[in-house]
């Protein structure tokens, strides 16, 4: 089971110019065959289906623990897409009528981000097709599952690099810069696991694709902080045997790989402003605000929300609202 | 982001007689339109896409927190399927040859549990079709998302009841007994949320389907423990405003709903024995065991695995192995 | 638009021995590529999309009118599947508990007929996969659409013959006997339409598959009644120009084709008994009956239902209920 | 079975400026999860699979009768898409050569409207993916099916509102104005049915999404005519017990709900002009016209087509043709 | 089994202006229901599944031999798409950084041609959906399979004509001009086969769609060469009985059909230049070149590649490279 | 383009006892994610999309040539499935009526092998779902495509081993024995290619899954013949540079890898007998035989079929026919 923490693994910028076609491209990192839903679900199912786990504990722990990190990745991709779509619809007219508030996105590549979703992320790829369970490989054969995972991370790195090139929006850049760094760690982890089991030295294949991670400016801060060589343990008590696999030199830099015995601190998410044209969270969100305040008060909660967001007090929501009207 | 805990939310029995067609039926609770992947992913995406969350914090917290619990549900469904499939293949012959070790399951309903998976769970439904992203509804409109969630839990309750009737295997019964109880809590939570927002009293629709939960013997221990009226907070620090929504009387029993300020204790998972016929985790799992022991030792870890399982020291793995040879 | 008549196009027998795998096979005639959903939707979309229809009225009328008949075919297939599944689950125990009421169908080929449906028809094929819109061909090119339709009816005839061979259940036989006869009429109609437009004489290809319709005993009553050479006009006022295409000799018998200026009389459907194990229409259907009686009375309706069924007063429902308990 | 009437349920404007991306958006109302194919097929299958219908006749009649109305809705959506696509391709050159007659729509969002279809409607959604049978929910459990239907109509209302905002083309506006009104009636009908069965008052949830229907200018004429509070009986003789459920005050206006004992009069469809670039109905449609005239004459039919269209005698076809050349 | 020849069946022009949306349209001819993957796989499976082939040898040979030709067609479609996409991404910057090299195609219709593929062809249709096995019809019934094939070729001709109109890019025109000619031959072959078996004269339906092939300028050179009336035998020794079916007059021109006893000579493919922005074949392709040279030398192969391409020595690769930087 | 040879790559036994569920399992090797359609289509698309092929010729030749061999593999899988299904339906009755000739396979796992196909192979997997284009990986990045291919062959080996265990039918055993041997060669070839490009020695991972190929009795004759270390060149003139990659010691046996400069001789296919119950090739196949004989004679062909089959003159067809009646 899991505990959930209401923070993102890295900081994302607040909404700026909306970029619907960029957001449609970022969907590949969500619901594509090599998207974060795939990494999450592959490692999750592999850990669920792991037989004889006591006898192979370091490998079980490795897969289970990386699965936990991946949850934070789908969260980041979703936050990025939402950020890029903020402001893409018009606000309703002064008289409250809807009018043609979505006609500006009539030719946007992924119409369902608006029609099915509320200017938000969908479990779809960059061609608007849903993620599906056929993308999960969980054969039970440990060497084979690890081989798959190494290949999956390679494909994921390819896709992140290309989305980086396709969507220069600040949120997409912050996302891909971070994911390239962290995905690289997983690629190393699986290579190392295969080496431990078979002797085959896959680290010679790094970087693959052959562009060094450090050439990506948005990766550099993460590399400088050391995040390219660290595996975090995403659990209060468990998965302690990852150290038995994740060690030795980093294939690109030669630095010693490290296990960090807790989750990263992360960053507060932005509270993205309502988009009334798509009824998110409502056509008239103020009413919900009033009800929520009343409920909070009846329950003896403080007047202000107890949850924290990055942009509280900064008036970001109001500023974005203002800009869009 | 999440922290992962290597425990199940409830106890499952160890493997007994294998039941491949029963396991194929339980897949509906994994990858069916109303399966646990659907509840997990619906609430997860709705929480990711929630706009104006500070203004609607109690509702955001509710959805985000239930999403966290659902992760534990897909874990339980997977463990159940693995339990039911344990022993369904023959062990390899004495001479190590594979022979016809899977011919006994040639007519099993879901061939891919053996051919694609390693006698394990797949992200598929009871007809062997993959879960897909079209099962996720995340419109951004809060009242509408909650209406969906109430409907989704209703459909899920229906499916759990029918799987209960179709698969009398002890593991399936333990699973459905627990899930019926917990899914019922979520059904109540969403009904209550809709009532708080609109005034419509959906609790009059309970139970739906109209068979009372307490009529299911396997639900009773959970009801007696009070788990039918409790919402656990699956987070170290966050989602504290669920109390503002989850309160009032339980629709079936009239007892006061409760919020528990931490995750349930849960139970240790069984370490299910290797199934060499499907190479899970290997054709010759002992070799992996030796490598793991060596790695553990090099890393300065204790000789025995640090992770805990329900059946350690009981020799269950050996017993099952014995029985199957 | 349409008017709906609460009768079947032909008579079906009441439930007898349940036959789940037979019902799974009949699904091919519902949701298979050549099933009745395909004929219905192909002709419906072709009529909706027909451009320049005044200039080509006889052809528009032909396609639109056959589309109307096809609606009755999906209705018959559904009624057949429901009939074959009646009694396939056990009744709940005397104490009202569900127990293992579906364990008898754990190995049935299409689990979703029970788990997703209520022992009823699904829009799926014989392998349990959903019908989808890719099965619709509507190119707008009249000759090409007609060529497709001739091919579609040929494929449909093939599938009906094989389902006939695979499912000797009385309901399946009544269904396929009727559909082979009526589908044959449509095959002729499209062949004739192509001939009128291009001069190509496709009637030389009849029968295709090459087994004569009259060799099927269950087709004979329909042939004797003349239903193999008649096109009914399924409209109060419209589609009168079908006579301009549907004429000349029948390719197999040489008899003159006929247009009948109204819909066939058809037959009353059976009221199939509740199946409480799957909650259809409820776990305790009597309660619904009481509510319905009250509502009927408040609305000034007669005490007895105004709708007619084939088995009213015959106690069929009770008899089936009895037999199953 | 059904009778088909060659009229639309409401009037649509003749073709004006083509709008391919608008037409691609309108596809969501055809083949999306909440499109009219879904409402049609859900209620149709639920009526086919209804067990114990005599005992629950008012509810059976309600579902069966609304299913009949939905057929008219897919017809309207198709007519709208065809209208919006009319004129989107160039006419062939003077010399009859095809040249680049479709290059103007090379970047249109849904290429298959042109390549697979004949500038017409497809059973697809707004991302160009086919409708499929997984969108049908037919559990057999009456309360649950009705809960689903209420949710389905809510999702459908959401999608209609958004398509309204996205596609300001006159045909799309006429369509969504009408469908919002009629879909609202169905939403009320299902809410009322649930209330009659369980006592839960869902009418407090109206309107959902929370924008009042009367704020949409294109809905007003239908509201003024009273169409927001009327359920039509789409059958010569059957489904008379809908009055037992559809009664009481309208949730938004408080007016008494009404049952109208026949289908609405509707309007004649426009005969949309041929689009020779896509061979609809032919590369040289005049030839078909000549053949049709001959066939009509041989069959003793009048010289002019017997079918009626909205634009007969107005030369609309010629005018559009002129404009496009 | 097959032997593969590294030549195209016809000549294609070298890359000129990139045309991503044109390339997205051409995908319909690859992975659409009527695309070349469909013709290839339909005839391939029909030949594999052909029962009693000695007794029906001329028909078996016909289907098996046309299947062989179709392989060359998917090759041509792929080469065309690759040609049209060449140059659509920017070259990396002088400093080797990737920057926004794909931002110019952010709104291209098929994002996966860049993100999943390497600016190359995918097994998808023009709406970006994958080809699937449901497009294969292989009933085993010879007359029915041939009827299907005639219909399939008709649909394919329709799609080729429309892609011709939609994508005036020189490569697309060269492709469709050739495929229309060759597909026409297959349409004739299947019509003739049906006639031989049933007597039905389908040649009266030609041309269908009704635009004569010779009206397409890009078809004329192929017609002049006689390729519209020739069936090539794509086998060293087998399929000699195609002459027993493919004979008689051509339906459009009246000329005698001919069997050519060998494969056509074809043309050398262009060696399309690397696209480093998508890492095809690498981010730094020169390195691969050096490795290849070394391997060639170790293996005793000549210094220059032994394989032939159309543009060797012409510096085309360099010229394109130059133009794009 | 290709030339086709009417021989199988290895010998298959004639039909013996039919085994429908075994045949349903073998479908995984046809249309599963790791089936032969996947290996065929992956390498085919990768070769089509290969950019800068002159500079990387040895690798291009390797992929293109292996693609050619894979065609023979789908052919073998299809022949195996057809063999296993032969005799699974009853022959029609003496009076030629169809009766219940398929009722014996009503519970067979893959109903569409009978209802859609003619007791033949379908492009589906072992759960009856169609192969689809998402299984193709063609990124254009050479190292990554090769990594994929190594993983794909590993997954394919896993699936072949399990089908071996599940389906002990003689045809399935002959198939898997051969494919394991040949797939192993491809696994080695891709490992070697990666090593040449990156230096990573993947041969240490062999065998994977960890059961040595030589432990499979049905592999041994192929190993003894040397087929485990040979790459055949499937082309009259091209792909000569495969020698530059495929060399060095075999990872399991240490023997030197060899390139054979032509295709293997292979074996004649069996002519499988008609199955009239499914109309393959006809309800009354003799008629086709007479027509074929006439056509052959008109075309000046010899009286006996020119094509060769394994069982000509042996009366196998008659014997099987006899046995089945």
CA distance D273 to chain E (A): 18
CB D60 within 8 A of CB D142: no
E82, E267, E25: which is closest to F48 by C-alpha?
A: E82
Q: How many CB atoms neighbour CB D17 within 10 A?
A: 11
Q: How far B72 CA lies from chain C's nearest CA (Å)?
A: 23
Contact A98 D21 (CB under 8 A): no
Better-predicted residue by pLDDT, C48 or F92: C48
pLDDT at B156 over 80: yes
Among B131, B165, B169, B215, the strongest candidate for a mutation testing the C interface, having the largest count of C CBs within 10 A, is: B165
Q: Which chains touch B (3 or more CB pairs under 8 A)?
A: A, C, D, F
**pLDDT of F98 higher than 90:** no
- The verdict on a CB contact (< 8 Å) between B143 and D194 is no
- In this prediction, residue D260 has a pLDDT band, given cuts at 50, 70 and 90, of very high
| Tens of pLDDT, residues D107-122 | 999 999 999 999 999 9
What percent of chain C has pLDDT above 70? 94
Q: How many CB pairs (< 8 A) connect B and D?
A: 71
Residue in chain E closest to C148 (alpha carbons) equals E151
- Alpha-carbon distance of A45 to A138, in angstroms, equals 6
Give the residue ranges of DSSP H helices in chain B. 20-31, 36-48, 57-85, 112-115, 142-166, 170-198, 220-224, 285-298, 316-324
Residue pair E118/E278 in contact (Cβ under 8 Å)? The answer is yes
Instruction: Determine which of B88-102, E140-154, F145-159, F280-294 has the lowest per-residue pLDDT on average.
Output: B88-102
- Residue B143 CA to residue B134 CA, distance in Å, equals 20
- Residue C99: predicted pLDDT: 87
Say how far apart CA B13 and CA A116 lie, in whole Å: 42
Q: Which residues of F touch A31 (CB under 8 A)?
A: none
Residue contact F138–E119, C-beta within 8 A: no
Chain segment C264-282, per-residue pLDDT in tens = 999 999 999 999 999 999 9
HEC readout, E212-265 = CHHHCHHHHHHHHCCCCCEEECCCCCCCHHHHHCCCCECCCCCCECEEECCCCC
Query: How far is C-alpha A245 from the chain's CA centre?
Result: 25
CB atoms near residue A126 (< 10 Å): 30
C245 burial type by CB count under 10 A (0-12 exposed, 13-18 middle, 19+ buried): buried
| Residue in chain F nearest E281 by alpha carbon | F141
Q: Please tell me the distance in Å from B159's CA to the nearest CA on chain C.
A: 6
Judging contacts by C-beta atoms under 8 Å, the chain F residues touching residue C162 are 102, 114-115, 278
**Of B266-270, D239-243, D319-323, E100-104, where does mean pLDDT reach its minimum?**
D319-323
Residue A197 predicted with pLDDT over 50: yes
- 3-state SS, residue F301: coil
Q: Evaluate the omega torsion of the peptide bond into residue C207 and state whether it is cis, within 30 degrees of 0.
A: yes
- pLDDT on residue B325: 47
CB pairs under 8 A between B and F: 81
Q: Is the model more confident about E100 or about E124?
A: E124
d(CA E197, CA C47): 33
Strands B258-260 and D258-260, bridge-based pairing: unpaired
Segment B297-317 shows an average pLDDT of: 86
Task: Tell me which residues of chain D have a C-beta less than 8 Å from any C-beta of chain A.
Answer: 21-22, 24-25, 28, 32-33, 109, 125-129, 158-159, 161-168, 209-211, 215-217
Task: Please report the pLDDT score of residue B319 as a whole number.
Answer: 53
Ramachandran class of C108: left when φ > 0, alpha when ψ lies in -120 to 50, beta otherwise: beta
C52, C132, C296: residue with CB nearest D271: C52
pLDDT, position A54: 96
C324 pLDDT exceeds 60? no
Spatial CA neighbour of A24 closest among B138, E107, F133, E90: E107
Instruction: Provide the shortest C-alpha distance from residue B215 to chain A (in Å).
Output: 28
B155 contacts in chain D (CB < 8 Å): 137, 139, 144, 148
Above pLDDT 90, what percent of chain C? Answer: 92
The answer, yes or no, to whether residue E320 has pLDDT greater than 80, is no
Note the pLDDT tens digit of each residue in E173-212.
999 999 999 999 999 999 999 999 999 999 999 999 999 9
> Are F98 and C128 an interchain contact pair (Cβ–Cβ within 8 Å)?
no
Query: β-strand F258-260 against F230-232: which pairing, if any?
Result: parallel
Q: What is the per-residue pLDDT across A199-209, written as a single tens digit (0 to 9) for each?
A: 999 999 999 99
Chain D hits for A88, CB-CB cut-off 8 Å, are: none
Q: Render D296-322 in DSSP notation, one character per residue.
A: HHHTT--SS-SS--TTTTTTHHHHHHH
Position E283 pLDDT exceeds 80: yes
Q: Mean of the per-residue pLDDT values for chain A?
A: 95
Q: What is the pLDDT of residue A155?
A: 98
Looking at the partner chain, which of E128, E159, E211 has a beta carbon nearest the beta carbon of D115? E159
D96 neighbourhood in chain E, CB within 8 Å: 211, 215
Q: Is the pLDDT assigned to residue B134 strictly greater than 60?
A: yes
pLDDT at F229 > cutoff 50: yes
What is the reported pTM?
0.97
Minimal CA–CA distance to F27: which of F108, F123, F104, F105? F123
| Chain mean position to CA C128 | 18
The secondary structure of residue D265, as a DSSP letter, is -
Q: Which residues of E touch D112 (CB under 8 A)?
A: 28, 32, 125-127
Inter-chain touch F283–C25, beta carbons under 8 Å: no
The distance of F268 to chain E (nearest Cα, Å) reads: 11
User: How large is the average pLDDT for residues C245-256?
Assistant: 96
Show which subunits contact F, needing at least 3 CB pairs below 8 angstroms: A, B, C, E
Does position A19 have pLDDT exceeding 60, yes or no? Answer: yes
Chain C CA closest to residue D268: C1
Taking the C-alpha atoms of residue B108 and residue D290, their distance in angstroms, rounded to an integer, is 60
D touches F (3+ CB pairs < 8 Å)?
A: no
Can you give the pLDDT at residue C325? Answer: 47
In whole angstroms, give the CA distance from residue D16 to residue D303.
30
Q: What mean pLDDT value characterizes chain B?
A: 95
Among candidate residues F260, F298, F42, the one with its CA nearest the CA of residue F147 = F42
What local confidence, expressed as pLDDT, does residue E325 receive? 47
Name the nearest CA neighbour of E275 among E236, E244, E317, E231.
E317
- Tell me the chain E residues in contact with residue C151 when contact means C-beta distances shorter than 8 Å: 147-148, 151
- Residue E263 pLDDT > 50, yes or no? yes
Q: Note whether E touches B: 3 CB pairs or more under 8 A.
A: no
Q: Which residues of A229-242 are buried (b: 16+ CB within 10 A; e: fewer)?
A: bbbbbbbeebbbbb
H/E stretch holding F3:
strand F2-4
Hey, are the CB atoms on F139 and A155 less than 8 Å from each other?
yes
* pLDDT of D104 above 90: yes
Chain A CA closest to residue E117: A159
Q: Give the DSSP per-residue string, B132-157.
A: BGGG----S-HHHHHHHHHHHHHHHH
Those residues with Cβ within 8 angstroms of residue C265's Cβ, 6 or more apart along the chain or in another chain = C7
Residue C318: pLDDT band with limits 50, 70, 90: low
Supply C29's token pair.
């005639």
Q: Is the pLDDT of residue C320 over 70?
A: no
- For residue B235, report the phi and psi dihedrals to the nearest 5 degrees: -165, 140
> Do residues E155 and E148 lie in contact, with contact meaning Cβ atoms separated by under 8 Å?
no
Q: What is the pLDDT of residues D8-59, one digit of tens each?
A: 999 999 999 999 999 999 999 999 999 999 999 999 999 999 999 999 999 9
What mean pLDDT is predicted for residues F116-123? 98
A320 pLDDT higher than 60: no
Residue in chain C nearest E203 by alpha carbon: C200
Q: Report the pLDDT value the prediction gives residue D323, as an integer from 0 to 100.
A: 52
Token duo for residue B165? 């009737």
For residue C143, list chain E residues with Cβ-Cβ distance below 8 A: 205, 208-210
Of C99, C105, C279, the CB nearest to B209: C279
pLDDT band at A312 (very low <50, low <70, confident <90, very high): confident
Handedness of CA B298, B303, B304, B306 (dihedral sign): negative
Of F127, D113, A157, nearest to C138 (Cα)? D113
A144–F158: do the CB atoms touch at under 8 Å? Answer: yes
The percentage of chain F sitting over the pLDDT mark of 70, rounded to a whole number, equals 94
Tell me which residue in D64, D124, D197 faces C6 most closely, judged by beta carbons.
D64
Average pLDDT over residues B154-167: 98
CB contact under 8 A, F166 and B106: yes
Q: What is the rounded average pLDDT of the residues E222-230?
A: 97
Which of F31, F48, F282 is facing E133, going by the closest CB pair? F31
Instruction: From chain B, pick out residues whose CB is under 8 angstroms from the CB of F109.
Output: 107, 109, 111
Q: Is the confidence at residue D325, as pLDDT, over 50?
A: no
What are phi and psi for residue F232, nearest 5 degrees? -85, 145
Q: Stretch C171-189: mean pLDDT, rounded?
A: 98
**Contact (CB<8Å) F210/A144:** no
Q: Enumerate residues 6+ apart whose C-beta is below 8 A from D273.
A: C51, C52, D15, D86, D316, D317, D320, D321
CB-nearest to D211 from A110, A283, A287 is A283
Contact by Cβ (8 Å): B7, B95: no
Angle of CA points B60, B62, B65, to nearest 5°: 105
């Amino acid at each position: 089971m899991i505990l959930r923490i209401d923070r993102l693994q890295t900081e994302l910028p607040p909404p700026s110019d909306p970029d619907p076609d960029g957001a449609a491209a970022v969907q590949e990192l969500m619901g594509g065959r090599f998207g974060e839903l795939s990494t999450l679900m592959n490692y999750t199912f592999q850990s669920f289906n792991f037989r004889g786990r006591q006898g192979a504990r370091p490998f079980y722990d490795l897969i289970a623990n990386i699965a936990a990190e991946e949850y934070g990745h789908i969260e980041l991709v979703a936050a990025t897409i939402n950020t890029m779509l903020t402001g893409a619809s018009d606000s309703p007219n002064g008289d409250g009528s809807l009018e043609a508030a979505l006609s500006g996105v009539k030719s946007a590549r992924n119409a369902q981000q608006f029609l099915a979703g509320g200017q938000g992320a969908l479990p779809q790829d960059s061609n608007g097709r849903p993620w599906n369970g056929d993308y999960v490989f969980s054969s039970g054969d440990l060497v084979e599952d690890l081989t798959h995972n190494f290949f999956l991370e390679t494909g994921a790195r390819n896709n992140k690099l290309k989305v980086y090139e396709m969507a220069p929006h600040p949120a997409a850049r912050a996302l891909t810069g971070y994911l390239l760094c962290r995905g690289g760690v997983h690629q190393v982890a699986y290579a190392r696991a295969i080496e431990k089991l078979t002797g085959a030295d896959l680290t010679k294949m790094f970087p693959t694709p052959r562009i060094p991670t450090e050439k990506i400016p948005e990766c550099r801060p993460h590399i400088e902080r050391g995040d390219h060589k660290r595996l975090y343990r995403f659990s209060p008590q468990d998965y302690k045997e990852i150290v038995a696999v994740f060690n030795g030199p980093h294939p690109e830099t030669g630095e010693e790989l490290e296990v960090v015995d807790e989750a990263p601190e992360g960053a507060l998410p932005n509270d993205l402003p309502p988009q009334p044209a798509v009824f998110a969270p409502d056509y008239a969100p103020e009413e919900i605000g009033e009800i929520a305040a009343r409920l909070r008060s009846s329950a003896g909660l403080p007047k202000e929300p107890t949850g924290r967001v990055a942009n509280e007090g900064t008036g970001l929501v109001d500023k974005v609202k203002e800009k869009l009207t």
